[in-house]
Amino acid sequence: MRDRLILLPGWGLGTAPLEPLAAALRGLDPRLHVEIEPLPPLDSSDPADWLDQLDANLPQDAWLGGWSLGGMLAAELAARRGERCAGLLTLASNLRFVAAPSWPAAMPAETFNVFRQGCASDASATLKRFALLCAQGAADARGLSRQLLGAAPQPQAEPLLAGLDLLAALDTRAALQGFVGPQLHLFAGADGLVPAGAASALLELLPDIEIGLIDQASHAFPLERPHEVAAAIQGFLHEAGDD
């Protein structure tokens, strides 16, 4: 199973944004089994419910990774599994999505609350806005946002709100500090949702892990720059395998 990588998607946009990255990884190493696991269709915002479902569904001893919310869940599951997880990689995933006094490098709580209110009143309009935020900073931001939205599942308010409440509840600092396996965390230089300061704050918290920055890229860099991201991941996997 150490040649198996499970990728978890982000909030609201389904698995399609990770498909080009998965294809690029398979092209670099045909021996690597890359799978994209949809997030559980839960109405709960309790992280334990999500982790229980993922733990039951995902194979043991695989590499765990994910984009944004998916990366945060992968971090928590990696810590829960410990030696039963080969390693962890996250893509544009903050340790806290919503800022707190102890973690200011995140979305301001007021901004998040306004976004959540918008989702409760008009989920479709909010998802469209989210796609634009994900694409902010890309070379072709409008084209990328259309691509994200075009492949997204039909928005349903309750699961989307549960996912937002989960985002607000998660804090992966303890999980990352407790997980002893190899870790790679990739951030985007022009991310409109995760402040650039999150990368340096993570490095200060855990100076011995691998952190990379995709310059001049958006939050949706797994879709925007799949081959570049795949090369960074593949290099990390090979290094970790040699240790």
Query: How far apart, in whole angstroms, are the C-alpha atoms of residue 94 and residue 187?
Result: 9
**Cα–Cα dist 63/9, whole Å:** 15
Two structure tokens written together for 68: 């944004």
Please check the confidence at residue 1 and state whether its pLDDT lies above 70: no
Please write the tens of the pLDDT for every residue from 198-240: 999 999 999 999 999 999 999 999 999 999 999 999 999 988 8
Give the mean pLDDT of the chain. Answer: 95
> Inter-axis angle of helices 157-169 and 123-135, to 10 degrees?
50
Q: Reply yes or no on whether 33 is catalytic.
A: no
pLDDT at 2: 72
Check 43, 219, 227, 238 and give the catalytic one: 219
Catalytic residue list contains 68:
yes
| pLDDT > 50? residue 39 | yes
219 a catalytic residue:
yes
The pLDDT confidence band at residue 36, using thresholds 50, 70 and 90, is very high
Q: Both tokens of residue 45?
A: 């915002």
pLDDT digits (tens, 9 = 90+) for 130-187: 999 999 999 999 999 999 999 999 999 999 999 999 999 999 999 999 999 999 999 9
Catalytic position from the list 68, 93, 145, 218:
68
Per the CB < 8 A criterion, the answer to whether 62 and 191 are in contact is no
Confidence of residue 242 (pLDDT cuts 50, 70, 90): low
The rounded distance, in Å, linking the Cα atoms of 237 and 168 is 30
Domains of the chain by start residue, with CATH: 4-242 (3.40.50.1820)
Catalytic residue (choose from 93, 171, 191, 218): 191
Is the pLDDT at 243 greater than 60, yes or no? no
pLDDT at 127 over 50: yes
Predicted pLDDT at 239: 87
pLDDT of 240:
86
Contacts of 41 (CB under 8 A, 6+ apart): 159
pLDDT in tens, 66-106: 999 999 999 999 999 999 999 999 999 999 999 999 999 99
